[in-house]
Amino acid sequence: MQGKVWLVGAGPGDPGLLTLKGARALQRCDTLVYDYLASEAIVGLAPPDCEKIYVGKKAGAHTLSQDEITALLVRLGSAGKKVVRLKGGDVFVFARGGEEAQALAEAGVPFEIVPGITSAIAAPAYAGIPVTHRDHNTSFTIATGHEDPTKGYSSLDFAKLANPKATTIFLMAMGNLAGIVGELRANGLPDTIPVGIVHEGTKPTQAVVTATLGTILAEVERTGISAPAIVVIGEVVREREHIRWFDAQPLFGKRVLVTRPAHQADDFAQQLWEVGAVPIIAPTIALGPPPDPEAARAAVARVREYAWVVFTSRNGVDAFFDLLGELGRDARAFADAKIAAIGPKTAAALTTRGIRVDLVPQTYVNEAVADALLAHTQAGERVLVFRAHEAREVLPQTLYDAGRAVDVVAGYATRAVDDPSLAEKAERADVVTFTSSSTVKGLLENVPHGARLLVTKTVACIGPITAQTAREAGIRVDVVADEFTVDGLVRALTAAPA
């Protein structure tokens, strides 16, 4: 079988900046060779059974030499593997991708280049520094601050780089910053020219230092800012005062513990990234089959017999349609049955499966579902409540008390995830989020002293029921979402006092 190597630029760190083509390559590779600068979220896009080989290089610590990395790519491609070589930033911007491509070409290994967004442009942009601006410059230059040490001389023309009307961006320059500053000053660049240094650009750990050419070395020593960093020199740095945006967000730099099930964590984590937070993925519960799977299967098989079918979560929708598929049937099985969903996310999950939802209450809790159903049903009508095994009884009990014929069927069950590292993850977090009562209980099963551990944290809950469970366990709750969805929880966190 013929192999192939994709040289993929991962971008500067924010997983949202990975290109669609890069994501597609990752999703179909069987071997991943990745760098120090490739973010965990992007590495996680590779298939679970993909072989992952870390070849990271940072100052003073090289896992493999460049020659060894190149030889590895040739060997894997020649062996018929579908390989993604994931590189931080862009493949060809001071990333030695040209050397790797050349070696693959000489060995006859098919390859493809997938460009990435270079940190030279993205990191300044996330710092509020445009690399070009009509008021300040008409050109910009990207230069390396770390040339091949075996050359014995510098290829950089500092006489041209010392241009006060241009922007100069140095990559990998922190180790030689004093020498670069000295050369620019010696070639006539004024000490008053602004300088910006962006550490970990586009990530929630981003840090920015601004000074002038004459004061930047002292400012670096004072702040301790270090590699990996981008150095921007030019009048455009002044624009940060006006258009700083990424590190001005309310959750910037906050470490947020995400306790919802693993298969639902990605969407939440992405939203946290977009508001500047650092998601810490720590599922406290997992989903599994219900105690009586035959009862669930039987209810799905006779779904057309019900006047109403009620779904109280997206997980219930998934479980129902999984069973429907096993039975060889599709959405037509509902016939004339009307559908109720507890909230917009559950309704959206049904819509994607071709089901038009008849009822969504204004408040996304079981009590509101019960009240809305009572207004739309009559005594004696049959109602199927398809839910989690552990769900509260308020919904079916309210319907039963009002004379409805209610079948309560567990489509799935939740269990606590055994995670010995959960206490350490919670300790690192600034904010702890709970998206259901089960996530609260799951954390406490792993960390019995959780209430004490969370005393110094901001605790945020998706709604009042989850908040009540947390408070009953002795956990102080600081933030409760007004809209009981993950979107609402993120909005509540961004609106909360710092």
Interatomic CA distance for residues 36 and 303, integer angstroms: 52
Average pLDDT value for residue range 81-93? 96
Contact predicate 207/230, CB 8 Å: no
Please give the class, per CATH, of domain 255-284+417-495: alpha beta
Confidence of residue 332 (pLDDT cuts 50, 70, 90): very high
Dihedral angle computed from the Cα positions of residues 381, 382, 388 and 391, in that order, rounded to the nearest 10 degrees: 40
Dihedral angle computed from the Cα positions of residues 68, 69, 71 and 75, in that order, rounded to the nearest 10 degrees: 130
Lowest mean pLDDT segment, chosen from 234-238, 429-433, 480-484: 480-484
241: tokens are 């005062």
Contact predicate 414/443, CB 8 Å: no
The answer to whether 35 is a known catalytic residue is: yes
Exactly one of 35, 254, 345, 457 is catalytic; name it. Answer: 35
Confidence of residue 59 (pLDDT cuts 50, 70, 90): low
Q: Distance of CA 466 to CAs 67, 436, 485, Å? A: 54, 5, 12
Q: Which fold has domain 290-415?
A: Rossmann fold (3.40.50)
- For residue 191, pLDDT beyond 90: yes
What's the angle, vertex CA 225, arms to CA 222 and CA 226, rounded to 5? 135
The answer to whether 90 is a known catalytic residue is: no
Average pLDDT value for residue range 290-317? 96
- For residue 60, pLDDT beyond 60: no
Contact predicate 129/239, CB 8 Å: yes
pLDDT at 274: 87
Interatomic CA distance for residues 243 and 72, integer angstroms: 44
Domain-by-domain residue ranges, the chain?
4-117, 121-248, 255-284+417-495, 290-415
pLDDT at 58: 63
Average pLDDT value for residue range 274-278? 90
Average pLDDT value for residue range 94-98? 93
pLDDT at 93: 95
Q: Which fold has domain 121-248?
A: 3.30.950
User: Fold identical between 255-284+417-495 and 290-415?
Assistant: yes
Interatomic CA distance for residues 51 and 39, integer angstroms: 17
Average pLDDT value for residue range 471-476? 96
Continuous H helices in 127-261: 158-161, 177-186, 216-223, 240-243
Exactly one of 4, 21, 30, 57 is catalytic; name it. Answer: 57
- For residue 428, pLDDT beyond 60: yes
Higher pLDDT, 202 or 150: 202
Strands (E), 91-185: 111-114, 140-144, 167-171
- Per residue in 131-165, pLDDT (tens digit) is 999 999 999 999 999 876 666 667 899 999 999 99
- Per residue in 392-410, pLDDT (tens digit) is 899 999 999 999 999 999 9
Confidence of residue 487 (pLDDT cuts 50, 70, 90): very high
Amino acid at position 159, single letter: A
Average pLDDT value for residue range 376-381? 94
Q: Which fold has domain 4-117?
A: Cobalt-precorrin-4 Transmethylase; domain 1 (3.40.1010)
478: tokens are 């600081």
Interatomic CA distance for residues 205 and 253, integer angstroms: 6
pLDDT at 284: 96
Give the chain's length: 498
- Per residue in 30-56, pLDDT (tens digit) is 999 998 777 778 998 899 899 999 998
pLDDT at 56: 84
